[in-house]
Every structure is written in structure tokens, then in C-alpha cells.
Amino acid sequence: MTATADTLASGPGWHVADVICTASAGDRPFEEAHRDFCVAAVTSGSFRYRAQQGTAVLAPGSLLLGNSGTCYECGHEHGNGDRCLSFHFGSAYMDRIVADVPGARTLSFAAPRLPPLPALAPLLAEAEAARDMADTDAFEELALRVAGAAVATLSGATHGGCDPSRRDQKRVAEAVRRIELDADGPISLPALADETATSPYHFLRTFRQVAGMTPYQYLLRTRLHRAAVRLRTSNDAISAIAFEAGFNDLSTFNRRFRRLMGETPGRYRARRAGRG
């Protein structure tokens, strides 16, 4: 049995890894222990997972749920190998999320997995795309969203019925102004939450509800919009525009620009120069 875990991103109390297992049907099931709370999204392959909460077969789109300090066993009797996006959370980190999810009362997961649910499909697709595009900055928010979604789904909580308060709307407006002012520099989700005196999970959930996107998505759109304006109004080098907009490397800027605008920065500039 061979398994590799490549850490994609990490922060205080959390980390996410790309885990690839090449075990086959002939290999013995292996036993390990969850050091932290774990929510692992299966992106390919299937395997049997046995933990304190029970036994389940996990397939693409399902979520493995692991409680901190408990043992588990994985086996591949029905197929060879699998790949997971494995999110790990410290107890203090998870405790704050549970406290902010209406209806959630316990810190431990009562079930060994969540099946492929339509409501979770867009979030898991977003996480897999972030892995494939090496968008490590996106995982700070994705970790919170994945953990919150698992806790909320198990507790039966919903977030759609309660409008944000005036106080929350004011907090989001202040965060938007902060992003607009400092879009070319590093802005972290915990820092934005601290400035609004809320937990990161509550702030992220409220920001999405008010602004229609996450803080990271808003930051990216702000940077790309400003870069697009400069591409139209200046002759500066594309690399200079990218770096001054807040991107660390040109390839990342090109990839994200094309994804949002539908064409590369060079083609965007050339086509509009031709029209001019």
C-alpha cells in the first residue's frame, strides 16, 4: 500500500492535503488515527472506511468524517486506489465553527461520512478546481466552508431563512471598503474577521450572504478589474500590471484573467487596441 499526502495550504488550526492512495484489492486494510478533525472530499476512486461512528463505502462526491483522536481503517476490497482532498482542523478551530452553526450542539461527527449530496456538489467542485489550478490562496476560505458545510448538514441547519442584521451589513460594507483600499496587498480572512469583531466562519457566511460572493472572490475580482482597466488605458507591461495589482506571479494572473474575462490579458489588450 502506498499513500502520499501533499500539503496544499495551511493556517492556524487547519491544513489541507492532496492525498493519493494506490492500494489495491489484494492489500490488507490499513489502520491509522485521526490526529485532528478530518473532512475529506473523495475526488476519484472508492474505498471502505470504518471508524468509531460506523462503516461506510466512500465514492467520488462523498465526504469522509473523522473525529480527533479516534482510530480508523481503510480498505480497497472493491477497487484500486483513490484520491481525496483532506481538510484537517484542530479542536479549537472546529469548536468555533460549531458555535456559529445554528442547531449544532456537539463537536464530534456522529456519522462516518456524508454521501454525494447535490447541495454540496458546487462547493466540492470549487475545491477540486482550486487544487487542479494550484490556487492555494483559495483554501483559507474553502477550509472554513467545507467544515461548516459538514457540521451544518449533520445538524440539519440551514442558512437561507435569516436575513443579515443591519450590524452585519455594516460589517460587510466596512470589509468591502478595506478590500477596495488594500486590494494590491495581502488580506487574510482572519484579519478581516478580527476587524469586524466576529469569528472567521460567521464573517465568511455573512459576507457571502450580503455580497453574493466570498471575500477572496471579491478580492480577486477587484484585482482583475483594475488590471483590465490598466490594460485598456496604458502601455505598461502585462507583468508590471499583474504584480502591481497584487498577483505574485504572471502565470497565476494569466490563468485567473482568462478564467474571468474569457481571454488572455494579451489578447484582451490587443483586441481593444484594435477597436481604438
Q: Which region, left, alpha or beta, applies to residue 156 given φ > 0 means left and ψ of -120 to 50 means alpha?
A: left
R_g over Cα of the chain: 21
Phi, psi for residue 83 in degrees, rounded to 5: -140, 135
pLDDT confidence of 35, banded at 50, 70, 90? very high
Enter the C-alpha cell of residue 246. Answer: 497584487
Of 127, 118, 100, give the one whose Cα is nearest residue 42. 127
Phi, psi for residue 259 in degrees, rounded to 5: -65, -40
HEC per residue, the chain: CCEEEEEEEEECCEEEEEEEECCCCCCCCEEEECCCEEEEEEEEECEEEEECCEEEEECCCCEEEECCCCEEEEECCCCCCEEEEEEEECHHHHHHHHHHCCCCCCCCCCCCEECCCCCCHHHHHHHHHHHHCCCHHHHHHHHHHHHHHHHHHHHCCCCCCCCCCHHHHHHHHHHHHHHHHCCCCCCCHHHHHHHCCCCHHHHHHHHHHHHCCCHHHHHHHHHHHHHHHHHHHCCCCHHHHHHHHCCCCHHHHHHHHHHHHCCCHHHHHHHHHHHC
User: Rounded to whole angstroms, what are the CA distances from 87 to 6, 125, 163, 258?
Assistant: 12, 15, 29, 28
Overall size of the chain counted in residues: 276
Region 134-152: mean pLDDT is: 93
pLDDT confidence of 276, banded at 50, 70, 90? low
% of the chain exceeding 70 in pLDDT: 96
Whole-number pLDDT of residue 158: 55
Region 36-50: mean pLDDT is: 94
Q: Which CATH class is domain 3-154?
A: mainly beta
pLDDT tens, position by position, 250-272: 999 999 999 888 899 999 998 86
CATH homologous superfamily of 218-275: Homeodomain-like (1.10.10.60)
Region 222-243: mean pLDDT is: 93
Residue 111 burial (CB < 10 Å; 0-12/13-18/19+)? middle
Region 38-44: mean pLDDT is: 96
Cα(180)–Cα(207) distance, integer angstroms: 15
